[in-house]
Homo-oligomer: A and B are copies of this chain.
Amino acid sequence: MSSHPIKLSALQTRLFQAKAERKKSFEDIGKQLGRDEIYVAAIFYGQAKPTLDEIEKLSKYLNIPAAHLLAEFGPQFYPDRGGLMSIPPTDPVLYRLYEMIQVYGYPIKAIIHEKFGDGIMSAIDFSASVEKVEDPKGDRVKLVLDGKFLPYKKW
């Protein structure tokens, strides 16, 4: 089981423990829920709101009573997103993601504007995936971020 310096609730800790004891990956759980592995991890970290159906499947697969999951993730639960990391993050994996924005943020902004005009790439109507691309010179992480373009409204 993982030692999280970030603050997790008792239920979240239990989810991580059940996953470790059953030796399941987020991909395994994602197949049960019909969700991408990143999305499942987002539920574990309190960054996404599971449906009642997802809660039931989590309950069965990880053997945690649904009532316990509902007490925390029930209909009135809406995630208070973010706040897991300091800024900038100190963990090297997180920092590299952050550095990509520090260094290439303005270039990416410039290309989005050239291709789409004045607006943004949504972080709400959004999905992400991680793919492992094998390479003899060293495998590569392909991280795809996919968000709807939202043009600025004029009024």
Taken residue by residue from 80 to 108, chain A's Cβ proximity to chain B (1 for < 8 Å, 0 otherwise) reads as: 11111111111111111111111111111
Option from B27, B41, B44, B91 in Cβ contact (under 8 Å) with A80 = B91
Which residues from 97 to 155 on chain A have a C-beta closer than 8 Å to any C-beta of chain B? 97-116, 118-128, 130, 132-133, 135, 137-155
Shortest A53–chain B CB gap in Å is 11
Chain A contact residues (Cβ within 8 angstroms of B): what range? Answer: 35 or more
Inter-chain contacts of A45 with B (CB < 8 A)? 106-107, 110
Interface residues of A, Cβ cutoff 8 Å to B: 1-7, 9, 11, 16, 19-20, 23, 25-27, 35-39, 41-42, 44-49, 51, 71-116, 118-128, 130, 132-133, 135, 137-155
